[in-house]
Amino acid sequence: MQRITILGATGSIGASTLDVLARHPQQYSVYALTAHGRVEELADACRRFRPARAVVGSADAAARLAQLLAADGLPTQVEHGEQALCDVASSREVDTVMAAIVGAAGLAPTLAAARAGKKVLLANKEALVMSGQLFMDAVREHKATLLPIDSEHNAIFQSLPQHYARDPQAAGVAKILLTASGGPFLNRAVETLGAVTPEEACKHPNWVMGRKISVDSATMMNKGLEVIEAHWLFGAPADRIEVVIHPQSVIHSMVSYVDGSVLAQLGNPDMRTPIAHALAFPERIDSGVPQLDLTDMAALQFYKPDFARFPCLALAFDALRAGGTAPALLNAANEVAVQSFLDREIGFRDIDRVIAGALDAVPHGPAPSIEAVLEQDARAREAARAQVSTLRG
């Protein structure tokens, strides 16, 4: 029996994880579920999976959840706050942690899971982008197992040799080919992008996801964050990572080898596949995803990305090349810009302007500790908010 904590259980990845777990009650049990605010949804999940512990964002939310669960006679212990998140991610009662909180808020508990030597299923790419080297050091030092949930990275993981040691050269890897759908605005006239609404940006052609990652997909910052994520997960320098636009999202990414071979992982675009893969690794379990029918499919297309249409992708490559705290600054400024766009304070084309402005205002430096990263994160948020005010002014 694998005992699991799901950080971010009420989100899109959280729901897909619960769906896979429900198919295999003999193999997995839920130790803890966490959510920020959606108390009713978390209460529902607690009724179905009967975790020992549940964590929410505030004392108010905790009181409401405790009341709901007590009414049903559930024994689940209710807690709140960041320390509680770290506790349920690192408890001795847990084997596996699904890190599916969105954004920098997931860093502390995801790092706590790594430091406790857990099997960490990483969906929360922002945590790794922020803390890159420090996170990978913690994984190695505490003998944690890190398995990628992001569909592209899961595909790359599956296309690499079994005992790959984060050294592309040694494994004969020429390039990592990171596929991207191009999002909802791939073919939209560039002049009209300034006027798109949050609703349009969140309508992804192939995937149903949380709002933040949906906007990131529309700007292609998501792919930029994934380039940085691939760098840390697979030890590949920026010039060995290539982004390929593939609007059908059937090939989830590829690895190109020096002998001319290209290995890929294909499947229907459904996050339950990478989730089931990582949960059961190195075995395989049913995920509920229908088998891919290649004869049912129209042509598969591939294009080079247009960096003028998607300036966020260029900003991310620059941050990776700059190193140190640059990716953390990029991530923090992006979180502020995306939230401001979702709140209709700025337009879609302002997102990259806010990020570029914040990066100009806060010089990056070395990232010797998590404290240093968090301090830079706070400064970038402040600078991004100043940019938002200027644009609104």
Annotated binding site for Mn(2+): 150, 152, 226
Asked if 123 is part of the footprint of ligand NAD (rule: CB under 6 A), the reply reads yes
Residue number of the CB atom closest to ligand NAD: 11
Q: Which two tokens stand for residue 325?
A: 């705290």
**Residues in 292-321 at the binding interface with ligand NAD, rule: CB under 6 A:** none
Stretch that binds ligand NAD, among 12-20, 135-143, 318-326, 346-354 (CB under 6 A): 12-20
Distance separating alpha carbons of residues 353 and 362, to the nearest angstrom: 14
Asked if 51 is part of the footprint of ligand NAD (rule: CB under 6 A), the reply reads no
Binding mask 268-297 for Mg ion (x = CB under 5 A): ------------------------------
Binding mask 208-227 for ligand NAD (x = CB under 6 A): -xx--x--------------
Asked if 381 is part of the footprint of ligand NAD (rule: CB under 6 A), the reply reads no
**Residues in 91-120 at the binding interface with ligand NAD, rule: CB under 6 A:** 100-102, 105
Binding mask 137-176 for ligand NAD (x = CB under 6 A): -------------x--------------------------
Q: Which amino acid is at 58?
A: S
Distance separating alpha carbons of residues 135 and 209, to the nearest angstrom: 25
Burial class (CB in 10 A: 0-12, 13-18, 19+), 165: exposed
Asked if 150 is part of the footprint of Mg ion (rule: CB under 5 A), the reply reads yes
Q: Closer to ligand NAD at the Cβ: 12 or 287?
A: 12
- Indicate the angle between helix axes 125-141 and 107-115, nearest 10 degrees: 20
Give the largest Cα separation in the chain, rounded. 63
Asked if 35 is part of the footprint of ligand NAD (rule: CB under 6 A), the reply reads yes
Stretch that binds ligand NAD, among 3-11, 191-199, 330-338, 346-354 (CB under 6 A): 3-11
Residues annotated as binding site for 1-deoxy-D-xylulose 5-phosphate?
125, 151-152, 181, 204, 217, 222-223, 226
Q: Closer to ligand NAD at the Cβ: 181 or 357?
A: 181
Kindly list the residues in this chain that would bind ligand NAD in the complex (CB under 6 A). Answer: 8-14, 35-36, 38, 57, 100-102, 105, 123-126, 150, 207, 209-210, 213, 271
Kindly list the residues in this chain that would bind Mg ion in the complex (CB under 5 A). Answer: 150-152
